[in-house]
Structure 1
Amino acid sequence: MRAELRHIRNWIFDLDNTLYPASANLFALIDARIGAYVARLLNVDADEAWRVQKAYFHAHGTTLSGLMAEHGIDPHHYLDDVHDVDMAALERNETLIAALARLPGRKLVFTNGDAPYATKVLDRLGLAGTFEAIHDVHATSYRPKPDPVAYQGLLDAYGLDPHESLFVEDMARNLRPAKAIGMATVWIDNGSEQLPGDADRSFIDYITTDIGQWLFDILEEDA
């Protein structure tokens, strides 16, 4: 294990575009379903639905949070609808599977999606049973990343010391609150959608394009 990471006891991972590559384009399918949901809900065309969808995403952390705040939608109905996608593009990453199996300590998923969807993704990736828990958007009381309340709720729910925790995420902005409370941060720089004009990376400790290879490398260093 790399020397400066030997104190890490809790390994926390985002799900989408983190435990599988953004090139799988699974989230593009979800994004399209979100747009269709917004269009039906508001009775608007695709262009206006896209504008509303992204405005809520940027302002509220997720489109869901914006729709709940502005239109009082049922989150369960929404999540069941937008996550009804074909997962055939997801493939097992044997390097990632093996590296996660070797990691010492606790492993958790922290996602703005929901646990039923996350479970299906993990099964498809060959990671069923790898993680102690899935802390999802329901568990955050619909205050998603990057809301600091979501991070504190994660720590409280599982008794985690942030100074012994590392968080891996493809959305750079979601790492800022993690760093602020003492976590080590890893950014998966793989082309995922970022906030316009958000170029600050001062809160990121490590950058990689492949989390499986990064974990393998840190486990081999100073082994």
Structure 2
Amino acid sequence: MTELPDPHRFSHVTDWVFDLDNTLYPHHTNLFSQIDVRMTSYVSELLSLSREDARTLQKELYREYGTTLAGLMERHRIDPDDFLQKVHDIDYSWLVPDPSLGTAIRQLPGRKFIFTNGNRSHAERAARQLGILDHFDDIFDIVAADLTPKPARQTYERFAALHAVTGPKAVMFEDLARNLAVPKSLGMTTVLVVPRNFEPTFSEIWERDADYEDDVDFVTDDLGSFLSRIVGTAD
């Protein structure tokens, strides 16, 4: 369903900003499901809840605070380092190296960043498994964000200040439209990366972002093809 972009629409871009989970690697790899299961286990063990009750609370925290971590810190004063280490202890072999994506990212003119609500170690391991890690200038993770997750405006502003990113010269790629609202307001071009053919698992009510449609400039379900078109290597 990818609508390949006019490369001229991106000729002004000098900073390319990518979310990680379900963005740089596709939704159908299901890697995040491992993290999701570990978060449920963490909540269950922390609060002595059944897995069903723990998952219900986990999603409640996600909706209210933006991430499960933020909610657990606010309500239960947990150690964020312990949480991040445990929930990212996963099997990265689920990710298949993507040489064409790597080539497209490498050829993009300007700087490239990973901007994630996960931690740096997770981003590095995932990007390394994909074969794209060396193409990025830096990773802005939840620790760099002072543990305040997207879509909080101060987190984007912190990122932009740290790397001297000017909105009108930047583009943001994300799998959640709500996380594109602030970038759009800062003048960034915005690209929503959706699952291939809008897989049914993507349609959970709490993940729908219909109210943010106006914050999305482009939509793609194939990031590699989208970027290849921009750099002029698409078929």
Structure 1 position 187 matched with structure 2 position 199:
no
Compute the RMSD of aligned alpha carbons.
1.4
Give TM-score, length-normalised by structure 1. 0.95
> What code does the residue aligned with 1:206 have?
F
Structural mapping, 1:128-139, within 5 Å? 128-139=133-144
Partner residue, 1:161:
166
2:86, 2:209 → 1: CA distance? 30
Partner residue, 1:199:
210
Deviations 1:154-207 (A, max 9, x none): 000001101100000111111111101111100001154673553131110000
Shift of 1:93: 1.4
- Percent identity over paired residues: 38
Deviations 1:113-168 (A, max 9, x none): 00011111111110121111100001111110000111000000001101100000
| C-alpha contact (below 8 Å) 1:171/1:194 kept by paired residues | no
> What code does the residue aligned with 1:205 have?
D
Partner residue, 1:20:
25
Structure 1 position 171 matched with structure 2 position 182:
no
Partner residue, 2:220:
208
| Structure 2: unaligned runs, 5 residues or longer | 1-5
1:26, 1:5 → 2: CA distance? 30
2:186, 2:65 → 1: CA distance? 21
Partner residue, 1:89:
94
| C-alpha contact (below 8 Å) 1:110/1:135 kept by paired residues | yes
| C-alpha contact (below 8 Å) 1:172/1:194 kept by paired residues | no
2:136, 2:54 → 1: CA distance? 36
> What code does the residue aligned with 2:10 have?
L
1:202, 1:144 → 2: CA distance? 22
What SS class does the counterpart of residue 215 from structure 1 fall into? helix
1:116, 1:197 → 2: CA distance? 28
Question: Size of the alignment, in residue pairs?
Answer: 221
| Structure 1: unaligned runs, 5 residues or longer | none
> What code does the residue aligned with 2:14 have?
R
Change in 2 beyond 3 A, CA 1:23/1:149: same
| C-alpha contact (below 8 Å) 2:111/2:137 kept by paired residues | yes
Moved over 4 A (4+): 191-194
Structure 1 position 48 matched with structure 2 position 53:
yes
Change in 2 beyond 3 A, CA 1:70/1:151: same
Structure 1 position 110 matched with structure 2 position 115:
yes
